[in-house]
Amino acid sequence: MLKYTAIVAAAFMVGGVVSAAEVQSGLGKGEFVPAFTVTDITGPSKGKDLCYRCQYGNRPVVSIFAREITPEVTQLAKSIDALVEKNKDARMAAFLVLMSDEPTKAAPALEETAAKGQIKNVPLTTFASAKGPGGYKIAGNADVTVMMWVDSEVAVSKGFSKGDLNKDTIDQLVVDTKTILE
């Protein structure tokens, strides 16, 4: 009986570690994706304010909301960039939003990230608030929130606390893009 109890306790501990990686952040599955304006730093509308959500319309979209550019966020952007290139026929699109109370100061880091990471298909943008766009339900304890949608309806929404975005979670997000491409 003691052995069984130890196994069950270990299973709960492992389950707790796995669920701790995700934070409830972003719009829920099935919710409508509202418009919001960003400043394009590296994309085709560089230097302009625009709504990528509006521009991409009903296409399959991956949006990455980050509070800072870390090596993991860069790797996620590079992974999604490769998927967008691979899925041009499906008209897949993506963009990264750096949420900052000082977006002008953040812009050079985005330009450097795009250049070093050779990120060409994912515009890196800024949003003038560390809280993110109103109505998007970005949790205060989420350093990164990834939302995927198609036909303006959320299919995937995952948030990550500092340090919880890693190779395994990035690989899973890449797999999750199938939900918007099917």
Tens of pLDDT along 59-94? 999 999 999 999 999 999 999 999 999 999 999 999
For residues 76 and 63, is the Cβ–Cβ distance under 8 A?
no
How high is the pLDDT of residue 5?
A: 36
Structural domains of the chain, with CATH? 23-181 (3.40.30.10)
Residues in the chain: 182
Quote the pTM value: 0.88
How high is the pLDDT of residue 9?
A: 36
Phi, psi of 24 (to 5 degrees): -70, 105
